[in-house]
Amino acid sequence: MNRNAAAIAVVLLGARSFAACPEGMKPAIEAELFFGRDIGENFAVSDRDWRRFVADEISSRFPNGFTIEDARGQWSAPDGHIVRESSKHVTIVIEASGDAASIAKIRDGYKRRFHQDSVLLVEREVCSSF
């Protein structure tokens, strides 16, 4: 195989379209959300407040399920100093035609409730089966 053909093959193999989902699997969107828990000097979102947020904002919108993991995050603040904080990593898999507005409402709810500047969102197309 020549060099150009090899490059094309790599691109085609790496780009999965929804039409290529294996039998028994359906197109879906995997949304990963990263919530920093540091809310000011010496203050953090408590476990109790986090559980209440999950019940109010996430469970109510995605009752079929999601995954929550503890994480450690790092980012560069606007003034340039490095912030390291405890975080929550939430993964939600929704149908390809799923409700993107619900993800936005979760992010906005967290920023508003805990006075955060942002909630990181990563989305990717996947195939899923339950």
88 phi, psi to nearest 5 deg: -120, 135
Q: What is the mean pLDDT of the chain?
A: 84
In total, the chain counts a number of residues equal to 130
**How many other β-carbons are positioned within 10 Å of the β-carbon of residue 95?**
12
pLDDT at 43: 87
pLDDT at 5: 37
SS3 103: helix
Give the pairing type, strands 82-95 and 67-76: antiparallel
Q: Are 31 and 88 in contact (CB under 8 A)?
A: no
- Core vs surface per residue 55-87: b (16+ CB within 10 A) or e: eebbeebbeeebebeeeebeeeeeeeeeeebeb
Residue 124 CA to residue 122 CA, distance in Å, equals 7
The pair of three-digit structure tokens given for residue 24, joined into one six-digit string: 């028994």
pLDDT at 110: 97
pLDDT at 18: 58
pTM: 0.80
Residues of the chain with pLDDT under 50: 1-16
For each of the domains in the chain, give its residue range(s) and CATH number, in order of start: 18-128 (3.30.70.120)
